[in-house]
Structure 1
């Protein structure tokens, strides 16, 4: 594969630094100078790639999403059955590694600011709509193979995604009653007891 250009590498470096600043300080406290210092570039270099702080933040959210998908590409492209893939999706989203925790903090900032920003609201709708469609496709595939329960695949996907999101926020908030382990157990129980197709009971005449 051809080596990425220096400009592409520098842009990616700036976006990764932006995500880190957002995760550590919050979107409202995002400063170009902090991003530049963390990325090892000048403030002018950041402005060369992004005209405004809003442009930088939006690009960072998009980059966070793309990197999140890339980390899960192996399971999205897996030949494993859909039930296994849904369990793997749950495992991959439990806030347990520094990388996953940072990504969750970035998403929480997007959600917190979206109600006050039409631009971020549209971005959230686009990115999250894409993710829900991906999960719904896994559900639909499992239904076609007789592995998952009947029902609207988008509704079932929304149920799982909503559960993962809500519980992850509680884990990030430091809940003592809802640890990462309990989040995982709860979401896996949902997959196994609600989404998985139950064997048909034999009818004895």
Structure 2
């Protein structure tokens, strides 16, 4: 039986490959054989860890979220001023590089599947709960320091998360009226609106 670390590495490789494949072809067209090939394994090896395509993708969606948090942990927990942290949070979600674009494709697939899958709805709820708490904490910190306007930090966080989601989808679909730079400008307007005037 493989050592735990080897099993963890194999599972990580499978989940990474699954996210790459779903990002490229979508959930409906994803085949376990394609994931296995991308991971450099046999289909049987993938099925050793995940009984079904559904099990694989549930784990991959969660893995994608965990990687997203890891990539941003330093900027979210850092000692930078609140407004700078909020801008860094926004910038980290702009679909402007291959890693972020691929992650957005996976999220878009999760949303579509979650419309018909109660387990994915729960995962989505957990993910968005985490994002709201993160953004609300930055906003509360800014309010405590007199940087951001008073108000319900959770409502403000919901507004920003919804803004990022909606604009990112437009960018991903190649909208001529919504580029990454225009998205950055709109999000900057949000930060300006919640910032206390000097």
In the alignment, the residues of structure 1 paired with residue 51 and residue 135 of structure 2 have an alpha-carbon distance, to the nearest angstrom, of: 34
Q: Does 1:173 align with 2:173?
A: yes
1:56 is displaced (CA, Å) by 0.8
TM-score scaled by structure 2? 0.95
Query: In the alignment, which residue of structure 2 is the partner of 1:196?
Result: 195
Query: In the alignment, which residue of structure 1 is the partner of 2:116?
Result: 116
In the alignment, the residues of structure 1 paired with residue 49 and residue 113 of structure 2 have an alpha-carbon distance, to the nearest angstrom, of: 23
1:13 is displaced (CA, Å) by 0.5
1:189 is displaced (CA, Å) by 1.6
Aligned to 2:150, the other structure's residue is in SS state: coil
TM-score scaled by structure 1? 0.92
Query: In the alignment, which residue of structure 1 is the partner of 2:152?
Result: 152
CA deviations on 1:157-192 (whole Å, 9 max, x unpaired) are 000111011000000000111101100111012112
1:122 is displaced (CA, Å) by 1.2
CA deviations on 1:52-90 (whole Å, 9 max, x unpaired) are 211111110111011111111120111011111010111
Q: Does 1:33 align with 2:33?
A: yes
Consecutive aligned runs of 4 or more in structure 1 exceeding 4 Å deviation:
none
Q: Does 1:78 align with 2:75?
A: no
1:118 is displaced (CA, Å) by 1.1
Quote the RMSD (CA, aligned, Å).
1.1
Unaligned runs of 5+ in 2: none
1:101 is displaced (CA, Å) by 0.2
1:135 is displaced (CA, Å) by 0.9
